[in-house]
């Protein structure tokens, strides 16, 4: 490796990289990350808690989970189906949230970044 290429690799970031770093530090990008995190993290914690409640009840509350509701449908079956329903509901809710709040902000950042290229 010659000294010129070594200096280039050890020196400042290329202009494109500097643009990405500037965008990452911008107030718009910080707001976008905050909007994503404020939605995704609490919902993730809530869903994981709901899932572990189901698992723990299945392990330790056999009598409750085995309680028949209608015919051969018991509480465990209803909880299991509810897991699928909440999974799809969360996916739908996140899709609406992203389309309304995240995508427009991300598109604005992207167009500004690509406009400078």
At 24 the pLDDT is 86
Mean pLDDT of the chain: 87
pLDDT at residue 2 above 80?
no
At 71 the pLDDT is 94
pTM: 0.73
CB 109 within 8 A of CB 28: yes
Rounded Cα distance between 66 and 75, Å, is 6
Mean pLDDT confidence for 44-68 = 96
pLDDT at residue 17 above 80?
no
Mean pLDDT confidence for 54-70 = 95
């Amino acid at each position: 490796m010659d000294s010129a290429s070594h200096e280039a690799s050890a020196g400042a970031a290329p202009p494109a990289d500097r643009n990405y770093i500037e965008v990452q530090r911008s107030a718009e990008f910080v707001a976008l990350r905050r909007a994503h995190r404020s939605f995704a993290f609490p919902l993730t914690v809530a869903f994981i808690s709901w899932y572990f409640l189901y698992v723990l009840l299945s392990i330790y509350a056999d009598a409750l989970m085995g309680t028949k509701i209608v015919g051969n449908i018991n509480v465990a079956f209803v909880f299991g189906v509810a897991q699928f329903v909440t999974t799809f509901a969360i996916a739908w809710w996140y899709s609406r949230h992203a389309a309304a709040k995240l995508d427009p902000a991300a598109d604005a950042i992207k167009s500004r970044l690509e406009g400078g290229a």
